Amino acid sequence: MRQFIKNLKKYKYLFYELIKKDIKLKYRSSILGLFWTLLEPLLTMIVLTLVFSELLGRGDRYYPVYILSGRLLYSFFSGGTKAALKSIRSHGAMIAKVYVPKYMYPAATIVSNYVIFLLSLIVLVGVGAVMKVKPTLHLFGAILPLTILLVLTLGVGLLLATLNVFFRDLEYLWTVALMLIMYTCAIFYKIDGIQHHLWIFKYNPLYSVIVNFRNTVLYSVYGQAMDMWHLWYSMGVSVLLLAVGLVVFWRKQDRFILYV
């Protein structure tokens, strides 16, 4: 860990440039550019609200905020891990010619997605204001689940980036896995009435992050404070995955050049 931090300080300017490059490349051929970052979750929220508001929202007037708060967090996790998964292979030519700490590629990719994700939270603020969701002091607690989300995505991203070098089919398998994760995050439905299989939600760290983020945003509506079990569980799993991801990446990185 000490060596990772030392290299990050040494190559911090290169790290910043990689982040900027990823953001520019993502919107290089897009007409809407960064505006799509705000428009896409808003349109998705509208569609899901129209389809599920009566069926799953149970007439909750704040259902759009409920959907959007989960959708934004899941979208970052999904996009960040998929981008990290491809990061080593996509930088294969650079890895073969220039020495750069290899973990910077998946890390920069995830951080660039995180910056875009933070910008997309503007939509949540706007929708919350329209729906008259009153901000409370609990809103400052959102920093914790947002930080845990970044750590979780980094850990999973490093593992996927490493494994994808050796197993090329992982990209397709992870797409399927993300679909399963999405349905166990309760993005567009509530689990209050679900009596069976609650363990699926309880032990999904991403769901734990989403629950606590929603609690901080919608405290004035539902009166639910941050769930400490979900907080400590998601924090523990995220830190563990980051540690495992760093170790696995560090041990396998010298073999990347043989496969990329």
- Assign 4 to helix, strand or coil: helix
pLDDT value for 194 = 65
pLDDT value for 151 = 97
Task: Report how far residue 83's alpha carbon sits from residue 107's, in angstroms, rounded to the nearest whole number.
Answer: 10
pLDDT value for 38 = 78
pLDDT value for 193 = 61
Cβ neighbours of 260 (radius 10 Å): 16
User: What single-letter DSSP state applies at residue 188?
Assistant: S
CB 133 within 8 A of CB 224: no
- For residue 206, CA distances in Å to 30, 86, 88, 183, 216 come to 30, 21, 24, 11, 16
CB 149 within 8 A of CB 113: no
pLDDT value for 187 = 86
Taking 50 as the pLDDT cut, the residues of the chain under it are: none
How does pLDDT run across 152-196, given as a tens digit for each residue?
A: 999 999 999 999 999 988 999 999 999 999 989 888 877 776 656
